[in-house]
Structure 1
Amino acid sequence: MPANGTRRVSGQLLTPSTSASSASSGYSPPPRAMPVKVPIGLHTAQAIEFLGFSPKRAQALFDVFMEDTDDDWLDFIIQNILMRDADALDNSDDWVGAMQEMGIGTLLQEAIMDEEFESLRLTQSLKYWVADSIQTRWDSLNELNERVVQHLNLKPGTPHLRGGVDTDRQTFQRNLPGHVTLYRATTKSRLKDVVKKDGKVNLAIARSSPPGDFNSDFSALYFTREEEVVKQYAKFCRRRCPHANVVYLQMWVPEHHFQDVRTAKLEYGDLWRKLVFYSRRNDTYPEDVNKIAREKDIIIGPVSTPWTGHFQKMKTWKEVTERNVWRNGGKYVWMNEEVVTKLSELVRGKVNIYGTHERLTLIAEPWAL
């Protein structure tokens, strides 16, 4: 029976069921799905609490929203976070105190502050991780709602999972001759329409908003060569959003693509230090940095972390040191819309999406996400 605007449903409804063991996949399955308490309505105080807020703040936000129904529901909730003064950038800041001021619930606070993901957490601000968690939980809530409806109506509604454990794992690790294998971890809802039924690919959907390591005020497409980085992102996503349907995007990029367009490969050095410093601060590029950020199509280089202090707190790019390198050479960034379009055409038939629930499983019909 519904209680306090919520109901308990089987956690198995969140993700596609699989029958094979994960023992040979090399990936640890998430804990066995337990019954989940979910809100009956998507636009309720209970729904806001599901997104990660404390009960008190959830009710307060709902009351304010009901006074101004012209606002978009999710935008209203996320903007409530982004417009606040409270934030944290590095370990000198009070992350927990800022989350308490935001009204974030204890469970999400603990997930974001999990020591296992400290290096990854420090690559972005607290506001970023809170907003990302809210968006991911909202996507999960909508997906769960759809699954409940499908279950009650006895309708199939999930993309077909092919189901060959060893084969799928081998495909994931496979390197095509003459190609570079790249990966990305995200949630299923954010890859909707990336792969069409006719095989066409639209990677523009997967671009990331600024600021990033190499993009100060424009969207860019990020991938990595490092499987371990992808797995870490996926684990942190599940830690913050236990019911998230995390997937891996894999693509094989012909090597000639990097020669056919304007590609810059950066090592740790002054140019990388400047690029990261000005990009992360969302600041105006000096001439030498602008030349690479605005004129190059692809930048390959190390992933940054504000381990010595956040870039916003630095007075000059010279304060960026080798300790601000999280991963060497693992980041591939497509810098503009035109080159992303070229890439999308080039990797047609060379993009795979994998489900990660219980085991690594190739999704045979990615257009049905």
Structure 2
Amino acid sequence: MSASSNRILTPLDTSDLIRQGLVSNRNANGTRRIHKRRLNRSSNEENHDISLNIPLQSAAAVDAFMTIPDELISRATLTYVGFSEAKADALWNDWVNWPSGPSDPIRETDPDHPSKLVMTFIDFITGPFRPSNDTASDNDADWKRVMGEYGLSTELQRAILDPNFKYLRLSESCAFWAQDTVEMRYGGLKEIQAASHERERALRRSADRPGQASATPSQGRRSISELQRSNASGLSLDSSASARAIAARNTPGQTVLFKGLDQSRIAGLFDNNGALLDITTLLSAAPSDFSGRLGMYYFTPDIKVAEYYASYAKRRARAESIAIVYMTIPNRAIESMAAPEIQRIFWPSPEWKEFVWLGRRRQRVTKPLLKFQEATLLIGTTAKKPTHAWGLLQSWENITENYVLRTGRDGAGIPAVQYVFLDTKGEDFLTANSTIQVFPFTKANFESWMEANEVLFPWA
């Protein structure tokens, strides 16, 4: 990786943003301050209420600008993604003093080597999140202890342990959420980098056109703003709470499924024209509820469940944009399916218990359960608890209601249902029959969710 490709903001884009007063010079600690409307492909709309004319040195700049690393692979990135100062020092020291023995992998920043494995920066920094040092306890003190051993900052610990999301948090382990958050924040920096590259390309195109040199700063601001949106092919202008999104949920004759996640995880889902390009960005890795060894496509038919996941992601995010994927399928496409193409499996049936138990443990299913593994679409109850908790169960007969995810912030609702499209058959079905829209889940959406769901006691 070259020094220029490691920079988050490209040189030409940086110069243009400095000219407009939208980014600072590099600070001694390897960071810059950038206006929140110039972060990524959704930030201009999400932060439209923030003026572009706020001086960097003003008091208002505290809320208008975000501090980001100048370089993607850097010590500054370690603190940005959520490590403490001490842990950042230790990790960065290990990275820059990398061993060079014959059996050691090379870093992604090193020259290529034909016979050596490559260690990426994100894999390196998520190394502390090991299954051997993990917890899924409902005691927050256990989580604080483990996260302290990981070297996570107080800020990140507070985000993960926010009591508004305790029920959802306990569906996975401490290591899972720590890694998910660090990966999300790192992916967010890549989204900022991608937006900067697009702005630079636009600046170069503009410079090549006759008569563009006299463009004023305000004209430049408008054109770059439009570019940030035009490059976000497939991403709606409207938020997930907009009239357009609400109408999309209630389209007659359609089944609408949802998935809440951060936008960096669906990079490449659409091509530059907004057409579906790579649906595998929506895959959930194994092991999962209904698959021990293969990735599957999981969606919820309940927008409230998707909003819960999106809200927890937004709570743990820094500059990252969060979205809800809308997967729309004609009812007739599902209604025309019959067994063995479509199967249903719900709690508390013995079939559900055994099938999920085997899947979470990466074990082969028994012959009576093969019909579920061979389906194109499985509709069934969503499981709860991290994978290692399922591994501790000696028998599927020991599964209780505590292993079922329920709707509602505190799990007081009905068992959650999921639509799961299996392997290549499910992928082919979705590609042929579905329409995908992505609606940003903005800070305003998050604030509305918090107002409606916030618990009445402080974080402790």
TM-score bracket for this pair, using the shorter chain length? 0.7 to 0.9
Q: Quote the Cα distance in structure 2 between the aligned partners of 1:90 and 1:320.
A: 17
Matching residue within 75, 78, 83 for 1:48: 78
Query: Is 1:353 aligned to 2:438, yes or no?
Result: yes
Cα distance in 1 for residues equivalent to 2:444 and 2:147: 33
Identity of aligned residues (%): 21
| Equivalent in the alignment of 2:328 | 252
Q: Distance in 2 between matches of 1:33 and 1:181?
A: 36
Q: Confirm or deny: 8 A CA contact 1:96 1:109 kept in the other structure.
A: yes
For structure 2, the residue ranges without an aligned partner over 5 or more in a row are 1-24, 50-61, 100-105, 108-118, 204-219, 231-235, 407-414, 446-460
Query: What is the CA distance between 1:92 and its match in structure 2?
Result: 6.0
Does structure 1 retain, via aligned residues, the 8 Å contact 2:46–2:442? no
Letter in 2 for 1:189: S
User: CA shift at 1:149, angstroms?
Assistant: 6.5
Please point out which of 283, 286, 303 is paired with 2:382. Answer: 303
Give the Cα separation in 2 of the matches to 1:201 and 1:141.
Answer: 23
What code does the residue aligned with 1:86 have?
A: N
Shift in CA distance, 114/167, structure 1 to aligned 2, threshold 3 Å? closer
* 1:319 maps onto 2:349 in alignment: no
2:422 corresponds to which residue? 335
Tell whether the 8 Å contact from 1:184 to 1:223 is kept in structure 2 after alignment: yes
Shift of 1:257: 3.2
Q: Please give the alpha-carbon distance, in whole angstroms, between the structure 2 residues aligned to 1:278 and 1:19.
A: 43
**CA deviation vs aligned residue, 1:62-105 (integer Å, no higher than 9, x gap):** 22122155321112222x13446211134268222111111111
Of 160-169 and 126-135, deviating more is 160-169
Provide closer, same or farther for how the CA distance between residues 95 and 286 of structure 1 changes in structure 2, counting only shifts above 3 A.
farther
**1:140-289 superposed matches below 5 A:** 140-147=188-195, 155-156=224-225, 157-160=227-230, 162=237, 167-177=243-253, 179-196=254-271, 197=273, 199-200=275-276, 202-258=278-334, 259-260=336-337, 262-268=341-347, 269-289=349-369
CA 358–329 in structure 1, closer or farther in 2 if over 3 Å, else same: closer
Q: 1:11 touches 1:36 (CA, 8 Å); kept in 2?
A: yes
Contact 1:12 1:33 in 2 (8 A): no
TM superposition shift of 1:323: 3.0
Name the counterpart of 1:86: 133
Counterpart-to-counterpart distance in 1, 2:247 and 2:47: 17
Cα distance per residue 1:85-141 (max 9 Å; x no partner): 211134268222111111111111111111211121122222221111111101111
Give the secondary-structure state (helix, strand or coil) at the position aligned to 1:208.
coil
Pair 297,149 (structure 1): closer, same or farther in 2 beyond 3 Å: closer
Letter in 2 for 1:88: T
Q: How many residues align?
A: 345
Q: Which has the higher contact order (CA 8 A, sep 6+)?
A: 1
Query: What is the distance in 2 between the residues matched to 1:136 and 1:320?
Result: 32
**How far off its partner does 1:233 sit?**
0.6
> Normalization by structure 2: what TM-score?
0.68
State the superposition RMSD in angstroms: 2.9
Which of 100, 110, 130 does residue 148 from structure 2 map onto? 100
* Structure 1 residues 12-35: Cα deviation after superposition (integer angstroms, max 9, x where no partner): 32343239999xxxxxxxxx9543
- Measure, in 1, the Cα distance between the counterparts of 2:48 and 2:64: 19
Cα distance in structure 2, aligned partners of 1:33 and 1:185: 26
**Using the alignment, how far apart are the partners of 1:163 and 1:345 within structure 2?**
26
> 1:303 and 1:355 mapped to 2: Cα distance?
25
Q: Distance in 2 between matches of 1:260 and 1:48?
A: 49
Cα pair 1:267 1:329 within 8 Å, conserved: no
The DSSP-based 3-state class of the residue aligned with 2:176 is helix
CA distance in 1, matches of 2:76, 2:131: 22
- Indicate the SS of the match to 2:91: helix
Alpha-carbon distance, 1:247 to partner: 1.1
Larger Cα Rg: Structure 1 or Structure 2? 2
Distance change >3 Å, CA 318–CA 163, structure 1 → 2? closer
